[in-house]
Amino acid sequence: MSFETAFAAALLDPERPAPEGLFDPEGRPAGKRYDVYRNNVVVSLTDALGVAFPVIRALVGEANFRVLARAFLAGHPPRDPRLMLWGDALPGFLETYPRVRTLGYLPDVARLEQAMRESYHAADAPAFDPAGLAALPPEKLTEATFAVAPSVRLLSSRWPALSIWRYNAEPGAPKPQMAAEDVLVSRPGFDPVARLLPTGGAAFAGALAGGAPLGAALGADGVPADFDLDAALTALLQGGAFTQTGDPS
Amino acid sequence: MLDATPSPNRLPCATGVGYKAAYFDAITADPGPVAWVEIHAENYMGEGGRPLAQLRHLAERFAISVHGVGLSIGGEGPLDRDHLARLKHLIGWLDPASFSEHLAWSTHETGFLNDLLPLPYTQATLARVADHIDEVQDALGRRMLLENPSTYLAFQASEMSEIDFLSALTRRTGCGLLLDVNNVFVSATNQQTDATSYIDAFPLHTVGEIHLGGHSEDADDHGAPLLIDSHDAPVVDPVWALYAHTIARGGRKPTLIEWDSDLPDWPVLRAEAERAHGVLEGVRP
C-alpha cells in the first residue's frame, strides 16, 4: 500500500491506528500529530456541510448533525475541490439514514437548501421584460415559449418543505401546516428566493423549462385541471424566473 | 530587485489580504495600505452570481492573487484534468497577477479531503511533484508559486530536507516559491528545529510572495508543543520578528495576511496589513 493510500484510509476512519512510518521529532510514533490531519478533514468538511445546510442542522440539532455529517462524509466525500456544491447526495442519504428516518420531511428540506446553493452560483442571465408578454394577443399566449433562467430550481414536495424551511430560517414565520408544497427557487438579483407555487406549479414550470409552449405546459403530467395559472405566472415573473420569451408565432 | 532573477509574478511589493465576501464593502471603502487581495481559486469556480460579480469588481481596483487549495500537486495520482481546466478558465478570464498552490496533496481515490496533507521528501516524490508543476505551468501558460507547508509530523521515508526539495523543484520547473513565514514557525516548533536557520537557508531569490497568518497552540501525546496552522488569529510576535528577518535578508516581497476563519472586523485585519506595511517600508526596496 502506498503511503498516501494508508494515510488517506485512516483519515476518515477513527477506528484505524495512525499509519506506519510517521514520527515525532524524537522518533516516536506520530500519534496525536497524525490526528491533527484527521481532525482537520472531518471538522472542516462537517463545518462546510453545516454552512451549506443550516436548516437541516437546526432541525436535527448540532450534536446530531455532527454525527450525521460524519456518517455522510464517510460514504459521500467531495468528488472534487468545489465545496460550494458538495452535498447534493445529502437528500438521498437522509432518506435511508436510520437515525432520522422518522423525519420524513428532511430530504425535501435538504433538496430545497441544495437548490438555494445551486441557484446562488448559477450563471447570470439578462432580466426578462414582461412588457412583451403583456403585448401578446390572448390567442397567442398559449403558443408562447419561455427561456427559464439558469438559476431556477423547482421542487414538488409531499411535505410543506418551504413552510418548514421558513419556520427555521426566518424569525416570525408561521408554524408549518401539513400540506404538499410546490416551490420555485430563483434569483432575481444575487440572492436566491424561494416562493410557493400553486399545486402543479413545479410540473408546469418544468414543462416550460423543457421548451413546451404555455398551452402544452398546462397539459403536462402533474398539472391539475383547476391549475392556478395566474398565481404561477405571478410567482415566476416576480422571481425573475424567465430570461426571454421565444417567438410565439 | 536586489537579485537578477525576474520576479515570478506581477504582484506589487506591498501588502495584501486574503479576501472574504464579508469584507467587500469595507475593503473597497477603506483599504488602508492594502494593494492586492488573494482569493481561493475553488470559491470562484461557479457559473455566476455574487462571487464572480464581486471578483470582477475587485479586479478593477486591486491586483489579484489566485491561490489554489485543491489541485493536489503533491498527490500520487495524476492531476484532476477537469479541475485543471476549471482553473485554466478562471486564470484565463481574470488574468491575475499571480497564481500559487501548495506543496501538499488533498485528493485521493476516496475523494477530496479538504486539507493540505503532507508527503515524504524523496527522489520519487520530487520527480512526481515536478511533473505536476510542469503540467500546471504548461496548462496555465505562466509560472506558478509553490508554498511551503505547515507540518505536524515527519516521514521515516524522507531522504532530503524540505528546503532541498523546494530548491530542486524551482530548478527543475522554473516555478517560484511562496514563503509562508507562519508555516516556517509552526513547522520549526513542531519539528523542534530552528526557524531562523530555515529562513537563512531558504532560496529567497525565488520567493514571489510571503504569507503571514495566525496559528493555534496544542500539545502532542508527550506534552511537546504542537502548533496548528489555523488561520483564525492574529500573527504572533515571533512570526513578525521572523518576517522582519526575512525581509531584511531577502528584500521586499509582496506580503499577505491570511485569516480564514473566526474572521475579525475589517479594522483588525487592516491593522495587521498596516503592521506588515510598516516592516516593508522600513526596508530598502
Can you identify the CATH homologous superfamily of domain B15-278? Answer: Divalent-metal-dependent TIM barrel enzymes (3.20.20.150)
Closest CA to B256 of B46, B38, B7: B38
| Interface with chain B: mutation pick from A1, A5, A33, highest number of B CBs within 10 Å | A33
| Interface with chain A: mutation pick from B112, B119, B222, B231, highest number of A CBs within 10 Å | B112
What residues of chain A lie within 8 A of the CB of B132, using their CB? none
Q: What pLDDT is stored for residue A139 in this prediction? A: 86
**What pLDDT band is residue B1 in, cutting at 50, 70 and 90?**
very low
Write the residue in B45, B113, B228 that is nearest to A82 by C-beta.
Answer: B45
pLDDT for residue A145 is more than 50: yes
What DSSP assignment string belongs to chain A? --HHHHHHHHHT-TTSPPPTTEE-TTS-B-THHHHHHHHHHHHHHHHHHHHH-HHHHHHH-HHHHHHHHHHHHHHS--SSS-GGGTTTTHHHHHHH-GGGTT-TTHHHHHHHHHHHHHHHHSPP-PPP-THHHHHS-HHHHTT--EEEPTT-EEEEESS-HHHHHHHHHSTTPPPP-S--EEEEEE-SSSS-EEEEE-TTHHHHHHHHHTT--HHHHHTSTT--TT--HHHHHHHHHHTT-EEEE----
Write the residue in A7, A21, A150 that is nearest to B117 by C-beta.
Answer: A7
**What pLDDT band is residue B5 in, cutting at 50, 70 and 90?**
low
Q: What pLDDT is stored for residue A248 in this prediction? A: 47
Could you give the CA distance from residue A64 to residue A100 in angstroms, rounded to a whole number?
9
Residue B262, CA distances (Å) to B89, B214, B215 in order: 31, 11, 12
Q: What pLDDT is stored for residue B3 in this prediction? A: 43
pLDDT for residue B148 is more than 60: yes
Closest CA to B212 of B253, B267, B175: B253
Could you give the CA distance from residue B114 to residue A236 in angstroms, rounded to a whole number?
38
- Of A27-31, A142-146, A245-249, B275-279, the one with minimum mean pLDDT is A245-249
Strand partners, A193: A186
The residue ranges of every structural domain in chain A are: 1-103, 123-249
Q: What pLDDT is stored for residue B285 in this prediction? A: 59
Average pLDDT over residues A150-164: 98
Average pLDDT over residues B30-51: 97
Could you give the CA distance from residue B62 to residue A72 in angstroms, rounded to a whole number?
40
Write the residue in A2, A37, A151 that is nearest to B117 by C-beta.
Answer: A37
**What pLDDT band is residue A129 in, cutting at 50, 70 and 90?**
confident
Q: What pLDDT is stored for residue A42 in this prediction? A: 94
Could you give the CA distance from residue A69 to residue A93 in angstroms, rounded to a whole number?
10
**What pLDDT band is residue B6 in, cutting at 50, 70 and 90?**
low
Smallest CA–CA distance from A124 into chain B, residue: B48
Give A78→chain B minimum CA distance, Å: 5
Average pLDDT over residues B103-127: 96
% of chain A exceeding 90 in pLDDT: 86
Tell me the backbone φ, ψ of residue A243, rounded to 5 degrees.
-105, -30
- pLDDT tens digit string along A182-198? 999 999 999 999 999 99
**What pLDDT band is residue A138 in, cutting at 50, 70 and 90?**
confident
Q: Cα(first)–Cα(last) distance of chain B, in Å?
A: 7
Q: Which chain B residues in 229-248 lie under 8 Å from chain A, judged by CB atoms? A: none
Average pLDDT over residues A205-225: 97
Write the residue in A21, A34, A81 that is nearest to B156 by C-beta.
Answer: A21
% of chain A exceeding 70 in pLDDT: 98
Exposed e or buried b per residue across B198-209, where buried means at least 16 C-beta atoms within 10 angstroms of its C-beta = bbeebbbebbbb
% of chain B exceeding 90 in pLDDT: 95
3-state SS, one letter per residue, for chain B = CCCCCCCCCCCCCCEEEECCHHHHHHHHHCCCCEEEEEEEHHHHCCCCCHHHHHHHHHHHHCEEEEECCCCCCCCCCCCCHHHHHHHHHHHHHHCCCEEEEECCEEEECCEEEEEEECCCCCHHHHHHHHHHHHHHHHHHCCCCEEECCCCCCEECCCCCCHHHHHHHHHHHHCCEEEEEHHHHHHHHHHHCCCHHHHHHHCCHHHEEEEEEECCEEEECCCCCEEEECCCCCCCCHHHHHHHHHHHHHHCCCCEEEECCCCCCCHHHHHHHHHHHHHHHHCCCC
Q: Inter-chain contact A41–B155, Cβ cutoff 8 Å? A: no
Neighbours of B95 (CB within 10 A): 11
Residue B219, CA distances (Å) to A36, B90, B216, B228 in order: 11, 40, 10, 10
Residue with cell 491561490: B67
B283, three cell numbers: 526596508
Strand partners, A162: none
Burial of B60: CB neighbours in 10 Å, binned 0-12, 13-18, 19+: exposed
pLDDT for residue A245 is more than 70: no
Average pLDDT over residues A215-235: 97
Average pLDDT over residues A155-173: 97
| Interface with chain B: mutation pick from A22, A116, A186, highest number of B CBs within 10 Å | A22
- pLDDT tens digit string along A69-118? 999 999 999 999 999 999 999 999 999 999 998 999 999 999 999 999 99
Residues contacting residue B107 through CB under 8 Å, at least 6 positions apart = A80, A81, B70, B72, B75, B77, B80, B113
- Each as own residue / partner, the long-range contacts of residues A216-224 (CB below 8 Å, 24 or more positions apart, any chain) are A218/A142, A222/A156, A224/A199, A224/A200
The residue ranges of every structural domain in chain B are: 15-278
Residue A129, CA distances (Å) to A154, A240, B48 in order: 22, 10, 21
Q: What pLDDT is stored for residue B117 in this prediction? A: 97
| Average pLDDT of chain B to the nearest whole number | 96
Give A189→chain B minimum CA distance, Å: 8
Q: Which chain A residues in 35-94 lie under 8 Å from chain B, judged by CB atoms? A: 36-37, 40-41, 44-45, 48, 77-84
Q: Inter-chain contact A81–B114, Cβ cutoff 8 Å? A: yes
Could you give the CA distance from residue A247 to residue A113 in angstroms, rounded to a whole number?
34
CB A52 within 8 A of CB A87: yes
B257, three cell numbers: 495576511
Average pLDDT over residues A204-229: 97
pLDDT for residue A29 is more than 80: yes
Q: Inter-chain contact A31–B157, Cβ cutoff 8 Å? A: no
Q: Cα(first)–Cα(last) distance of chain A, in Å?
A: 66
Write the residue in B47, B50, B120 that is nearest to A123 by C-beta.
Answer: B47
Q: What pLDDT is stored for residue A228 in this prediction? A: 98
**What pLDDT band is residue B4 in, cutting at 50, 70 and 90?**
very low
- pLDDT tens digit string along B57-112? 999 999 999 999 999 999 999 999 999 999 999 999 999 999 999 999 999 988 99
Average pLDDT over residues B205-222: 97
Could you give the CA distance from residue B31 to residue B16 in angstroms, rounded to a whole number?
10
Q: What pLDDT is stored for residue B9 in this prediction? A: 84
Could you give the CA distance from residue A168 to residue B1 in angstroms, rounded to a whole number?
57
> Looking at the complex, does the CB of residue B47 fall below 8 Å from at least one CB of chain A?
yes
> Looking at the complex, does the CB of residue B285 fall below 8 Å from at least one CB of chain A?
no
> Looking at the complex, does the CB of residue B223 fall below 8 Å from at least one CB of chain A?
no
- pLDDT tens digit string along A45-54? 999 999 999 9
**What pLDDT band is residue A14 in, cutting at 50, 70 and 90?**
confident
Instruction: Supply the ipTM of this predicted assembly.
Output: 0.93
Parallel, antiparallel, or unpaired: how do β-strands B98-102 and B145-147 relate? parallel
Q: What pLDDT is stored for residue B185 in this prediction? A: 98
